[in-house]
Structure 1
Amino acid sequence: MPNRDPVETERRIGVATRYWVEPGTTAAEIAAEALSRALENAGLAASELRRVIFVSSTGGDMLIPGTAHFVCERLGLDDTCDAFDLNNSCAGFLTALDTAARAVATGYGPVGVVAGEIFSRYLPVDKPRPYLVMGDAAAAAVVGPGRAGEGLLASWLRSAAELRLQVTMNHPGRTGVAPHLQFDASYDTLTNQAVEALLKSSRAVVAEAGIELRDVEWILPHQPNGRMLEIILDKMGFPLERTISVVEEIGSVGSASIPVSLDRLMRSGKVRPGDRILMTAVGAGTGYGALLFRAGT
């Protein structure tokens, strides 16, 4: 890796720190801990879950069986709930949240949704773009019947072709080499396409809800790096005070980015009953979209 001035690097990528798990730590471990905390906050026992959805951009701990089953094992769950993995790259949490909300709406809940990302397994030191920004993280949500006035107002999710093979991680069974995260598009190309996708999905989801973008109280966009977050907020006309910035502290953490910021927002005490929270993400594939949630009493 070429020598880089740390101050200039931090300024350019908007990431000051990020965290990697200890070698040997599994995704199931960090996911189970996050989901356990979410259950405690919800006042529920793990045995009350009807479904566990494990979300990851990097495939969890093994191809077969799904990591969700090992999350269940660590929570002491046996023959009490459904469990499966979901991978939609950085948009995965939104996809899982949509899936969970639809399950609950048909009486199949509560559902535990947990994103567990261990990017540090796949970051060659000679690839500075991913190496300098990607971090490890886990965050969870428990989805159940809403309180008065609470619920998902609209969901808008899509798959587009623009960047379908521009952010990749190879499958060892196909290539015969160790997987690693690879950015094949330029920074400007990725930024422009990502911002356009986030704008499009955000405008579409608020239109489905019958409101304007300016009516939304909070926005939680996926945060690939600090500079991109600034561009997203500027394009949408949102001040920094109407979001929760996490990327400078924890780096780019894939599908865990939005649930980490959602957790911090809900714990901040700033959300009032009736506030609308816009969550929007874009990931490799290109999977992108937005969900609009209203807080209850």
Structure 2
Amino acid sequence: MISEVFITGSAACLPLDPVPNDRVEAILGMVGGKPSRARRIVLRNNGIQTRHYALDPATGEPVMTHAQLTAAAIRGLGDVGRVDCLATGTSNADQLLPGHGVMVHGELGWPQLEVVSLAGICLSGTAALKYATMAVASGSARRAIATGSELVSPVMRARHFEAESEHRLQALEERPEIAFDKEFLRWMLSDGAGAVLLEPAPGAGMSLRVRWIELFSNAHRLPACMYAGAEKESDGSLRGWARFPVTDWASRSIFSLKQDVRLLNEHVAPVTLTEPIAALRERHGIAPADVDWFLPHISSLYFAPILARTLDEIGFPIPAERWFTNLVSKGNTGSASPYIMLDELIRSGRIRPGQRLLMYVPESGRFSSGFVFLEAV
């Protein structure tokens, strides 16, 4: 049995008050007691003005767990009745095991249901949305909830970067380009969670019919670009945390997030857009005129003109007035960003029946991307 699937509710949770740029380093802390040399450059390029951290601004200590943050977003959906399937996506659960999904279920205290945890980076939330959609479409779930969430601020605090050994810190000072890559994500990422309710029929108000969801991996083409729990070897391969002595875990900051900025800048637009858009045209016959709202998950406003130029070059131009992003005010929340964007657009009242939305979610981990096509009813 294959039925239609509709997003009948959305919600988001952004912890505590917005944090402006001039307060970021005060909350996350200064590494070695020195102001960051990379911070101003990164913040100027990414265009983010405010973001949210689940950290007490006075102490820098976490005020909630990741499971609690995700559960808060789900509760924002209101009284949804009996839910048969919960699919969660994130890049950093509170623990290695158990999976994030069951920890969220435990926070909610709901009766027995199917729970899946999708791991990855930015695309994990979109993968959770696809799983939940398929659960409803197949008839195995009457109601399903999908989430994308990130709580990264605890690992972005200065104390984790100060774990570097003295000789390694000196090497980083001597190689500023390596220091920049290592510190880049401190000023890019923030906390947030989003959730959507999926059902086989529209709700009482505005609903979004899920026309299709497509995910693409380009791991066969390029090495890892964003990673954690590993270090990159000279040949581009990753050496995972289990291959290092325990004594090296802190001194080498094995578990910190890292981003190969040069690889990202060179490949993210052509690899995650050009071939996938060609595939979408072939599979679904989609054209630019079919897109009333384009919701790109971009980590930085730096990439906006690059994406626009790429779309023009491949014959899929989307005028700027059809773009919607809240990166400037909500920050880059990874797998939660598409949910938080969609929720804000829905609540703005700007979507009209019959309009169609194309969500674009690139992931720099190994250059994956996802596309979600929705129709307002």
Q: TM-score, structure 1 length as denominator?
A: 0.87
Q: How far apart, in 2, do the equivalents of 1:195 and 1:291 lie?
A: 17
Q: Give the whole-Å Cα distance in 1 for the aligned partners of 2:277 and 2:111.
A: 39
Give the whole-Å Cα distance in 1 for the aligned partners of 2:36 and 2:152.
Answer: 22
2:88 aligns with 54
Give the superposition deviation at 1:2. 4.4
Asked if the contact 1:244/1:264 (under 8 Å) is kept, the reply is: no
Q: Which amino acid aligns with 1:54?
A: T
User: Aligned-pair distance for 1:230?
Assistant: 3.6
* In structure 2, distance between residues paired with 1:124 and 1:172: 20
Q: Is the 8 A contact 1:100 1:143 kept in 2?
A: yes
Q: Which residue of 2 aligns with 1:106?
A: 138
Q: Secondary structure at the match of 1:228?
A: helix
Contact map agreement 1:90 1:254 (CA 8 A) in 2: yes
Cα–Cα, structure 1 residues 208 and 49, in superposed 2: closer, same or farther, change >3 Å?
same
Question: Counterpart of 2:210?
Answer: 152
Provide, for residues 2-57 of structure 1, a one-character-per-residue CA deviation record: whole Å limited to 9, x for no partner: 44684x6533221222221123321111100101112x1xx513xx1111112101
In the TM superposition, what is the alpha-carbon distance from 1:173 to its structure 2 partner?
4.7
User: Which structure's CA Rg is the greater one?
Assistant: 2
Deviation per CA, 1:134-162, whole angstroms, max 9, x where unpaired? 11111111111142995222232121124
What corresponds to 1:169 in structure 2? 228
Counterpart for residue 137 of structure 1: 192
What is the CA distance between 1:93 and its match in structure 2? 1.9
Out of 65, 70, 80, the position equivalent to 1:44 is 80
After superposition, the C-alpha distances for 1:247-279 in whole angstroms (9 at most, x for unaligned) are 112222110111110101111111111211111
**1:71 correspondence with 2:104:** yes
Q: Give the corresponding residue for 1:215.
A: 290
Mind listing any 5+ residue stretches in structure 2 that lack a counterpart?
1-34, 56-60, 162-181, 230-239, 312-316
Identity of aligned residues (%): 26
Q: Aligned equivalents of 1:259 and 1:205: distance in 2?
A: 22
AA in 2 matched with 1:36: R
CA distance in 2, matches of 1:192, 1:82: 40
Structure 2 residue 65 is the aligned partner of structure 1 residue 26: yes
Asked whether 1:258 is paired with 2:338, we answer yes
Residue 180 of structure 1 deviates from its aligned partner by 0.7
TM-score, normalised to structure 2, is 0.69
Which whole-Å CA distance do the structure 2 matches of 1:174 and 1:84 have between them?
28
Q: 2: distance between equivalents of 1:100 and 1:243? A: 26
Q: How many residues end up aligned between the 2 structures? A: 286
Residue 229 in structure 1 maps to residue 304 in structure 2: yes
Q: Which runs of 5+ in 1 are unaligned?
A: none
Correspondent of 2:264 among 190, 211, 215: 190
Aligned Cα RMSD in Å?
2.4
